[in-house]
Chains A and B, each alone.
Chain A
Amino acid sequence: MSYSIKNITYQYSESGPRVLDDVSLTIEEGTVTAVVGPSGSGKTTLVQILSGVIPNLTAGGVLSGEMHLDRDGEPVLISVVSQNPENQLFGYGVEDAIAFGLENMGIPDEEISDSIEYVLDLLNLQHLRKRSVQALSGGQRQAVCIASVLAMKPQILIMDEPVSSLDPNGKMMIRNVLNQMKADNTTVLIADNNLDWSCDIVDRVVGLNEGKVLFEGTRDEFFRSFELQRTLGVMIPQEVEIYRALTEKDIPVSMFYQYRDAVDQLDGLFTDHPGSVKNSEIPVMKEPVVTTHQLNKVFKDGFQGLRDINVSIPEGSVTAILGQNGSGKTTLVKHLNGLLKPTTGDVRFRGQSIEGKSVAQVSRSVILVFQHPEHMLFEQTVLNELTFCARMQGLPYTDEDVMKILETYGLEDEKETFPLNLSMGKKHLLTILSVLLSHAEVVILDEPTLGMDLKIRSELEDIVKKLKDAGKTVIIISHEIPLVFRMVDYALILNNSVKLFEGTKEELSLRDDIFDSIDINLPPVVRLSRRYGFDHISYTVSDFAEQAAAVLDRQTREGGDA
């Protein structure tokens, strides 16, 4: 049994471009299908067409093609889980939220009760049933959201970027939920360009680009096509990147998706498994530029957000702040720029306390770029938005400076565009670019990769490098561990409002105990380069592949000599 759409074409208006152009695809019953593609490829439009939002809620568009989304002539029920569960959950308690859709369908009370029990058991959520939705973590909310739509017994469940705002624990929870659904033979379609978290669950992949289907096939076929992955800008697990890089160096490995599988194969290739690298030199950092001293924060409701935090951020470094959601990361950075006042202790910039200064005054030294660009963008044009910080701080800038930035990051054609009309990734990029013209010596980026595709991510890495080269200090909060290890020099780890670690990336790479305690994994390249005793720890896939090739070459030569 399968569902399909054939030759679907859609324009938002008669004269508008084709957002979807002759799209045909098949959804096999009981499988998990991933729809991937860069920003603007048509993923969201496809979700809206499959779910019936187009044309039922959206007027003025032109839709053509055939939809075979029925069973025995009856249309199937298709439910959607969006990326922000807080916008989707109706009802105060978990039970209220799950019952909402069933009540709307007029299902009798006893059946509602049975359905609630069924989904709570299926997704292992019984412990949450009496909780209020508000009190749940991001991952739990998303799981309840999935439960609430599953309770309606849809034939197809669509998940639109379901983990984009979740921390590693939240992602893990949704993976487990998805595994349960797969075992239950639920038909799932995931619209997400990030396959990092779901690649071992997905059965089939559909690749969209500029509204056209570029690929439709099995997961393994997709992951074997390196060029396709690059064209679509799909985010893949670092394990798959390693496989790709090793294959490109003609190292004989077969496809692996998980660390364990990588170890199984690479153990056979590398004869030595010493567990530590040969050169573990720790670089010396510069003097601190921002420090905190016995920083404590107790909120009005009595929750202690920070406990005795002492940190020294080295000047000119790129520093990561890591930890699960609720560990105190955002609370800490909001103290660094004066948005939050400490209960006790203080924050100093170049040895001077920031106490008594307004946030705007502190922003001349320490500037914070927020996680959600919609909170920051309010000018009429991209050009004005870019110069906002400079104007607020009364700093001079030339048209050439502005145009150079726009050209470098591909925004020159959009300089007169209304910023909120940009794609999510570009909006985020714009808020980050606006600090380039500011005076601040310390730039804090809170979850900067949110909504960014691979291309914009590489531009972000370029911006951070440029800021560092200009002598600025960059602090990044991120859950993307491989990206963090690629970019940073220094790291802080927070857990339950307490600092667990502060030191260089090289020191952190040796601390499995710290990562175990916060339930986050070190990047595969770090773990594997240590396992096979490479010359130094690898932080990038290309470096890992280089070192792997060198070690294998040495092994071959030594074997030949022997």
Chain B
Amino acid sequence: MDYLQYVDGNTFLHRLDPRTKFFFLVAMSLLTSVIKSAVALLFLLVFFLILWSTCGIMSEMVQLLKKLKVLLLFIFLLWLIMGIFEEPPVELLAPFFKGQVGPVVICFDWYDFYKGFVYALRIYLMIASFYTVLITTNFSEIILGLCKWHIPYSIAFAVGLVFQIIPIVIGELNAIMEAQSSRGLEIEQCNWATKVKNYIIFSFPLFFRVIGKAQAISLAMYYYKLDFSRKRSSYKTIKASKRDLVFTLLTFAVIACTIVLRIYFYVPV
């Protein structure tokens, strides 16, 4: 189980200063939360696709898409259904159906699909930008980067620890599910209600495993004399390079292009 785990590599993105990647993450999160133009979002998607393929993380991003497919489908359908009760702001194509059902006017047309697509794509890009940074920045770099931004070591360490622990917890859950199904608990050929019930059952041993891990980690912190009240030294340092400058400029260029596309190709949603 390698979901949410750092992907080892030595690509352009891997070698960037973590602060550059944090800036990229913040910029992309803001951009995708304000941009609602399909053309601009598609431009961003193309940029991401090029970035992922150059940095060798395309398969992880496809895996992410598979994991998110239910959520994205739900968002798409939600906005599609909500769009049925609105008329399109621009008359491009004739509606598939338009009429009054009781007191409600219904207009089922291309705009409903457009709206669903835009919202699903925004969510995917938002999560993907976070995931891109997460899987190309190991937790030691995350801690170093946050400390360089003058975030207290205790908070930076806690953030880094979370990213170290999440894959372990997912791995534990998987192992518990495998162990229980091996003993005869049906988790494959059962309905949704049973699946939910099973997850509640799995949460019990998972809880104890996580508590056990947390205890072991706190013991280890003690053995390694970790004391947040004491000043500590830092063996490794991070330094921005020309590479970071290039990537930051590229990020600005992408932001500019996205905004221009948003201005010229915008259908209100």
Contacts and interface: CB of A to CB of B under 8 A. Distances in A.
A374 B209 contact: yes
A374 B208 contact: yes
A388 B183 contact: yes
Given A53-B219, A101-B224, A106 B182 contact: no
Contacts of A369: 182-183
B187 to A, nearest CB: 7
B119 interface: no
B178 interface: yes
A413 B183 CA distance: 25
Interface bin, chain B: 35 or more
Interface in B128-168: 138-141, 164, 168
Interface in B211-238: 212-213, 216-227, 230-236
A109 B182 contact: no
A198 interface: no
B9 to A, nearest CB: 11
Contact of A389 (B140, B183, B208): B183
A109 B8 contact: no
Contacts of B141: 92
Contacts of B219: 53, 57, 80, 82
A363 B2 contact: no
A88 interface: yes
A253 interface: no
A112 B181 contact: no
Interface in B153-198: 164, 168, 172, 175-176, 178-189
Interface of A: 51-53, 56-57, 79-80, 82, 84, 86-93, 95-96, 99-109, 112-113, 116, 132, 134-135, 148-149, 152, 300-301, 334, 337, 339, 358-361, 363-364, 367-370, 372, 374-378, 388-389, 392-393, 420, 434-435, 438
Nearest to B227: A104
Contact of A88 (B183, B189, B204, B223): B223
B187 A360 contact: yes
Contacts of B95: none
B182 A103 contact: no
Nearest to B226: A104
A523 to B, nearest CB: 30
A51 B222 CA distance: 9
Contacts of A363: 181-184
14 contacts: A51-B223, A82-B220, A88-B220, A92-B140, A93-B140, A101-B225, A103-B232, A105-B225, A339-B182, A367-B184, A370-B175, A374-B212, A376-B180, A378-B176
B233 A112 contact: yes
Nearest to B183: A389
B208 A104 contact: no
Contacts of A376: 179-180, 183, 205
B220 A375 contact: no
A300 B231 CA distance: 44
Nearest to B228: A104
A124 to B, nearest CB: 21
B250 to A, nearest CB: 26
Contacts of B183: 363, 367, 369, 376, 388-389, 392, 434-435, 438
Contacts of B234: 103, 109
Contacts of A95: 235-236
Contacts, number: 167
B6 interface: yes
Contacts of A388: 183-184
Given A87-B216, A360-B188, A377-B205, A370 B235 contact: no
Contact of A152 (B176, B222, B225): B225
Contacts of B49: none
Contact of A53 (B5, B202, B222, B226): B222
A380 to B, nearest CB: 9
**Of B201, B218, B235, which is in contact with the most chain A CB atoms at under 10 Å from its CB?**
B235
B227 A378 contact: no
A80 B223 contact: yes
B235 A112 contact: yes
Contacts of B63: 300
Contacts of B213: 87
Contacts of B202: 378
B188 A358 contact: yes
Given A95-B235, A99-B236, A132-B8, A57 B178 contact: no
A107 B233 contact: yes
Given A82-B219, A109-B234, A358-B186, A104 B224 contact: yes
A359 B182 contact: yes
Contact of B182 (A82, A89, A337): A337
Contacts of B208: 374, 420
A363 B181 CA distance: 8
A102 B227 CA distance: 12
B181 A339 contact: yes
A106 B231 contact: yes
Contacts of B225: 101, 104-105, 152
A-B interface, 4 closest residue pairs, ranked by CB to CB distance from nearest: A392-B184, A92-B138, A87-B216, A99-B235
Contacts of A56: 222
B216 A82 contact: yes
Given A92-B140, A106-B231, A57 B222 contact: yes
B169 to A, nearest CB: 13
Contacts of A79: 223
Given A101-B224, A358-B181, 6 more contacts: A88-B216, A88-B223, A92-B138, A107-B233, A152-B224, A359-B188
B222 to A, nearest CB: 6
A112 B225 CA distance: 15
A82 B213 CA distance: 12
A21 B225 CA distance: 29
**Of A88, A89, A364, A393, which is in contact with the most chain B CB atoms at under 10 Å from its CB?**
A88
Nearest to A91: B140
A116 B223 CA distance: 18
Contacts of B176: 375, 378
A374 B205 CA distance: 7
A454 to B, nearest CB: 25
A519 to B, nearest CB: 27
Nearest to A420: B208
B230 A367 contact: no
B262 to A, nearest CB: 37
Nearest to B214: A87
A262 to B, nearest CB: 39
Contact of B233 (A88, A103, A132): A103
A298 B190 CA distance: 28
Nearest to B138: A92
B245 to A, nearest CB: 25
Contacts of B139: 91-92
Contacts of B182: 337, 339, 359, 363, 367-370
A392 B220 contact: no
Nearest to B8: A132
Contacts of B140: 91-93, 96
Given A103-B233, A109-B233, A393 B205 contact: no
Contacts of B212: 374
A82 B212 CA distance: 13
B231 A375 contact: no
